[in-house]
Amino acid sequence: MKRYLPIAVAVASIVSAGQVMAKEMDMSKATCKEVGALPPAKTIAVALWVNGYVHGKAGNPVIDSDKAQANAEKVADYCRSNPDSTLADAIEALAK
């Protein structure tokens, strides 16, 4: 049972985040300024998407919530300094 709890929590988070994101957003073109202007609930949905995207590209299905939080903070810091950068560029710059 313990094995399935994280999966259930992740699915519930994604479903609730998806319900919050009523407007479609092209994540390859979304700027830091646009993401920063979203309400907090939508920002969480974007953070979940980013985390899944990065882990998917790495072929790693495991999530470390502490690292995910730290990475989200790094992206937020980068975006505050580079508001016209795309979110994809922010992720790429921090991955180097």
Distance (Å, whole) CA 86 – CA 88? 5
Helix (H) or strand (E) holding 42: helix 40-58
Angle between helices 87-95 and 65-81 (to 10 degrees): 120
pTM of the predicted model as reported, rounded to 2 decimal places: 0.66
The token pair that represents 64 in the structure block: 């470390």
pLDDT tens-digit series, residues 4-60: 445 544 554 554 444 444 578 888 899 999 998 989 888 888 888 888 888 888 898
| pLDDT tens readout for residues 52-90 | 888 888 898 888 888 888 888 899 899 999 999 999 999
